[in-house]
Amino acid sequence: MDDSQVPQEGNALFKGQRKAVYARGLDGKVRPVPSAGWQVEEIVTRQALEVLAAQAETARQRALRGEASPLEYHMYRSRMDLPLLAQSTGIWQWRVRRHFRPEIFSKLSNAILSRYSEAMGVPMEKIQSAEP
Amino acid sequence: MSAFQHRHASHCESGVMAALVTHAGLPLSEPMAFGLASTLSFAYIPLIKVGGLPLVAYRALPHAITKGLRKPLGLTMQVETFRKADQGVARLDELVAEKQLVALQTSGFWLPYFPEDLRFHFNVHNLIVFGRDGDDYLISDPVFEDTVRCPKADLTKARFAKGLMAPKGRIYFTRSTVQEPCWGKILPAAIRKTCRTMLAPVPFAGAKGIRSLARAVAKLDNSGDGAHARHFLGHMVRMQEEIGTGGGGFRFIYAAFLQEAAELLNLPPLATKADEMIAIGDEWREIALAAALMIRGRKLLEPKLIAAMLSTQADREESFFRALRALV
């Protein structure tokens, strides 16, 4: 990649940040050049965000219909999955899955809830409802 | 000790190590840190899942640069991890109070200065703390253009995130002064090591790893809406972008390293190899572009086409490293 080919089309997700990429200058030397972003990178990052957002939305709908607890929604919204949430809280996966059931989630102690709240960075007062 | 200088880098770990070594007395560029630690690599490991998909890596495992620079530069690194967060905080504060430059392993998800959309649970983001101002740490994050600040509570959360490759509050630093090494000895050794990795006779690493990835991509099902195929291709490119550095970026860093090595060793053929490496990096960019267009539906979803490109890439990298091996 030459200096002139360094992508500058801008990646909206960078929020104005630039990243350093290495490219060949006119003198033939490769050196770091700030890049405003590449559409390819934006496409694949957006794709990952969309997958996570879709999972969160499905979980939110399930929670609103009373088929799942808000915990599943908050998990996806925190960009986590089951293994990561289990590891972050120290609660076994089968137990976390059990807590996805609304009737069991509603009876959880504050101690357990605060572990979830801490791990996902969701405040205690928000964890009981599937609202953003 | 002179004042610490922040430098914008392409990759966090090589950027952090180049800054630490430079501060310790030996001016070291990011590509030199990267190449000297023999970091260029390729791995495709279906058994390790990242977000449910196989691990694809375009460089050596995290910590490889920190570990790899010790021997060639005679560098003594102190590495500490902590079982409890408060111990980790106290130790960091103690070192910062001594004006010691400290590198940390963190999870990017919890760092508030990261743009929201780029925060993922990725546990091996490296940065340097170079001071404190009240409850804020002063941070040199090599992938950012300027220095940043981070409140203590957030940084602590980032240092003690859980999950795959959890940082456990890991800090690393050096108190030693680094002398000019014998380039004639350490550079050829580092290049030979990279050649060994890239030509390793195992199906999950090096050129053979690229071939295994090509086979996996060829088998992707593009019938129906092709959701899985798109997801897989996106993942492959993301590993190249976010964890890599912009379309085969590691290949370009390695090209910069080969140019520096050509001068230090007075071996012009290495500079020619650097140009070939740039061409290989450009090819990785083409693969990423083709995959991205397929993901967005601007191009027909044809995993076999990407597989063929990958397979050609495997051949190119294989012959590149065979020729490089013969030079040093």
**Are residues B9 and A13, on separate chains, in Cβ contact within 8 Å?**
no
Question: How high is the mean pLDDT in each 10-residue block of chain A (132 residues)?
Answer: 89 85 94 90 90 94 95 94 91 96 96 95 92 80
Chain A contact present for B161, CB below 8 A: yes
Q: In the predicted model, what is the mean pLDDT of residues B178-184?
A: 95
Nearest to A22 among B162, B253, B295 (CB): B253
CATH number at residue A71: 1.10.260
Which pLDDT score is estimated for A38?
A: 87
pLDDT the model gives residue B59: 84
For residues B288-317, average pLDDT: 95
Q: pLDDT of B100-146, one tens digit each?
A: 999 999 999 999 999 988 888 888 999 999 999 999 999 999 999 99
Q: How far apart are the C-alpha atoms of B152 and B52, rounded to whole Å?
A: 32
Assess A104–B contact: CB distance below 8 Å, yes or no. Answer: no
Any domain includes A70? yes
Domain that holds residue A74: 41-127
Contacts of A119 in chain B (CB under 8 A): 162
Nearest to B306 by CA among B326, B328, B283, B275: B283
**Residue found by looking up tokens 């590149």 in the block:** B320
Q: How far, in Å, CA of B30 to CA of B11, rounded?
A: 8
Query: Which chain B residues in 170-229 lie under 8 Å from chain A, judged by CB atoms?
Result: none
Q: Please give the average per-residue pLDDT across B82-109, as a whole number.
A: 96
- Residue to mutate among A14, A44, A47, with most B CBs inside 10 A, is A44
Interface of A with B in 3-22 (CB under 8 A): 7, 13-15, 17-22
What is the value of ipTM here, to two decimals? 0.91
Residue B21: pLDDT over 90: yes
The reported pLDDT for the residue numbered A54 is 93
What pLDDT is attached to residue B203? 94
Q: Does A76 or B223 have the greater pLDDT score?
A: A76
> Which 259-278 residues of chain B touch chain A by CB within 8 A?
259, 274-275, 278
Tens of pLDDT, residue by residue over B224-258, are 888 899 999 999 998 876 555 555 789 999 999 99
* Minimum-distance CB partner of B237 among A7, A40, A51: A40
Decide which of B277 and A19 is more confident. Answer: B277
Q: Could you say which of A18, A41, A119 has the minimum Cβ distance to residue B241?
A: A41
pLDDT number for residue B1 = 47
- The class level of CATH for B12-173 reads alpha beta
Average pLDDT (B191-195) is 97
> Is A55 among the domain residues?
yes
Domain assignment present for A5: no
- The number of folded domains in chain A is 1
Q: Tell me the average pLDDT across B272-279.
A: 96
A45, part of any domain:
yes
Task: Give residue A104's Cα distance to chain centre.
Answer: 26
Residue A59 falls inside a structural domain: yes
- The pLDDT of residue B112: 95
> What gap in Å lies between CA B97 and CA B205, rounded to an integer?
43
CB B113 within 8 A of CB B155: no
**Residue A82 resides in a domain:** yes
Report yes or no on A14 lying in a domain.
Answer: no
Sequence spans of domains, chain B: 12-173, 183-327
